[in-house]
Amino acid sequence: MRQLKDKVCVITGASSGIGAACARAMSAEGAIVIGCDLRLDMLKDVAKEVKKSGGRMEAHALDVSDRDAVFALAEKIEKKHGGADVVLNNAGVAHGALVEETTMDNFQWVMDIDFWGVVHGTQAFLPHMIKRGSGHIANVSSIFGLVGVPTQSAYNSAKFAVLGFSEALRHEVKEQNIGVTCIHPGGINTNIVRHARFQQGPDMENEREEAIQRFQQFTITQPEGAAKAILKGIKKNKARVLIGPDAVLVDWARRLFPTHYMRALPFLKNIGQKDD
């Protein structure tokens, strides 16, 4: 897909961060953006900004963990626009806790959005792409989909699963002129930690603020830079997009030290750890 002009681009998690930046970038190239998010007020603000700049964007309230809702949206998009040309499965949440402290409710919450949301978004829009013989699906994983990190077992599980799912899908649809890209952002300046779940307790809010501060120290890339890399990857039909120098470093460390990469990446070990 060499250009996005007049292409119908569906973006989940489009109310802020990478999703909002991609909405602005795609609309600037002439795409018809279908923005989806649970935070509808914020999403409408992004749509207003896009329209004010001369772009086209619709705002749809959507819970990506609700399979029926995602399929209903896909049907609506097909009737109104003839289907989606690009689907960016970007919606994501985070949860930090040791494995022994992670509740099944929190584990399921992360998997439902970060992994099953990707599956739902793919299966809902893929049939029309196959019928038409063109399209592109881009799934957001993470550098935590490349390496395991303490206190991030649920997030790691979801993001590793996104990588495996995307790889299998790419091989399945390669001959049908459908591109698949798996995206691995490093530290991006987004609100994901602010909306993350933390273990209930008297120090929960303090732990949240500490986590936000640690995450801000870890962030290297702005959402606009991430959007630029994602659009380039989609246009060039790249199988994988690493976003940020930290993502490149993590990937190389994993390749060079398959089981001991944490020795080369000490900054990752403390991302989810509480300060002493």
Chain-centroid distance, C-alpha 99: 23
Out of 107, 116, 125, 155, which one is annotated catalytic? 155
Helix, strand, coil shares, percent, the chain, to 5: 55, 15, 30
Write the burial class of residue 94 (CB in 10 Å: 0-12 exposed, 13-18 middle, 19+ buried).
buried
Q: Which two structure tokens, joined as six digits, stand for 72?
A: 């209903």
Sheet hosting strand 8-12, strand order edge to edge: 56-61, 32-37, 8-12, 86-89, 135-140, 178-185, 240-243
Closest CA to 12 of 33, 31, 37: 37
Centre a 10 Å sphere on the Cβ of residue 234 and count the other Cβ atoms it contains. 25
Phi, psi dihedrals of residue 35, rounded to the nearest 5° = -90, 135
Measured CA to CA, the distance from residue 11 to residue 15 in angstroms comes to 10
CB 166 within 8 A of CB 210: no
Cα torsion at 112, 220, 166, 37 (round to 10°)? Answer: 40
- Sign of the CA dihedral 19, 34, 177, 170? positive
* Cβ neighbours of residue 208 closer than 8 Å, sequence gap 6 or more: 193, 194, 196, 198
Catalytic (active site) residue 155:
yes
Enumerate the active-site residues: 155
